A and B are shown apart, each in its own frame.
Chain A
Amino acid sequence: MRCVVTIKNIAELLVCDILTCEEPDKEIHTACGSDMMSDVLAFVKDQAVLLTGLMNPQVIRTAEMMDIICIVFVRGKMPHESVIELAKDRGIAVLTTKHRMFEACGLLYSNGLGGGAGH
């Protein structure tokens, strides 16, 4: 059974700090965890969240091209102000969590968020 997960739910599940988020009630349908942007670019998913440890502006650009609506920086990483601004400008939510990548992905998966494979 598919659960409805919102950006707000993700922030709660991963105990995130919200760096920018204009629509916390927006639904998330799939998730993707990667530091390799070309791997992210290989598989289109709708209404997705991207979990990553990479901190450069290309993360936001990649999300923008893919219509990814939310980015979670793992392991307590804090992106540069200009990176947050770029995301804000593009209407992409940015969260940061202290969880490591594996834990963050596991928590989301066990709470009903899939990877979108086969859709």
Chain B
Amino acid sequence: MNGVSFNFTVPGDDFTRAGEASSAIKNKLKSMGIPPAVVRNVAIAVYEGEINMVIHAPGNGRPGGGIITITVEPEAITMVLEDKGRGIEDVDKAMQEGYTTAADEVRALGFGAGMGLPNMKNYSDEFAITSTVGVGTTVTMKIYLNK
């Protein structure tokens, strides 16, 4: 397996910086010669996840935010988004389009409409989510390179 992995840190709380990690990931994948359509799908899926980390994993005196790990292998790109946020009480509900626990301030910024997780699932070929209330959430997504 000749895979290559890289990590990106997402700061919690700072909405103006949300998207910097996804932007860096997009540029990195582009420079590796990954097909543009795949790069776009990865970028969108990771960006929604990054926004979620900022919205739902605020620092509040703790580090907050999370880590995005991207692994590129010949057959697929794997994205692991791990945060130490407040966790999700009902994951099935959270996966429904339109379900949200985001505050009004977040909606005023153009997010928090309950589309984030469904979008992430739609753009990936494999999707898994585990979450523990008070501990954090981990989303693992895979996008195949040869479809």
Q: Which A positions have Cβ atoms within 8 angstroms of B?
A: 35-39, 41-42, 44, 54, 56-59, 61-62, 64-67
Say yes or no: B113 contacts A41, CB within 8 Å: no
A to B contact number (C-beta, < 8 Å): 68
**Whole-angstrom CA separation of A64 from B27 in the bound complex:** 11
Q: Which B positions have Cβ atoms within 8 angstroms of A?
A: 15-16, 18-19, 22-23, 26, 36, 40-41, 43-44, 47-48, 51, 109-113, 115-116, 119, 122
Main secondary structure of the interface of A (DSSP, over half): helix
Write out the residue numbers on chain B whose beta carbons fall within 8 Å of the beta carbon of A54: 109-110
**Whole-angstrom CA separation of A37 from B110 in the bound complex:** 5
Say yes or no: B44 contacts A65, CB within 8 Å: yes
With A36-B110, A42-B122 as known contacts, state yes or no: A64 contacts B19, CB within 8 Å: yes
Say yes or no: A38 contacts B115, CB within 8 Å: yes
Say yes or no: A41 contacts B18, CB within 8 Å: no
How far, in Å, is A15 (CB) from chain B's closest CB? Answer: 25
Say yes or no: B44 contacts A44, CB within 8 Å: yes
**Whole-angstrom CA separation of A65 from B9 in the bound complex:** 18
Write out the residue numbers on chain A whose beta carbons fall within 8 Å of the beta carbon of B36: 67
**Whole-angstrom CA separation of A14 from B125 in the bound complex:** 40
Say yes or no: A56 contacts B16, CB within 8 Å: yes
In the complex formed, the residue of A with least CB distance to B41 is A44
**Whole-angstrom CA separation of A36 from B115 in the bound complex:** 10
User: A41-B115, A65-B26 known; 4 other A-B pairs, CB under 8 Å?
Assistant: A38-B48, A38-B112, A38-B119, A42-B122
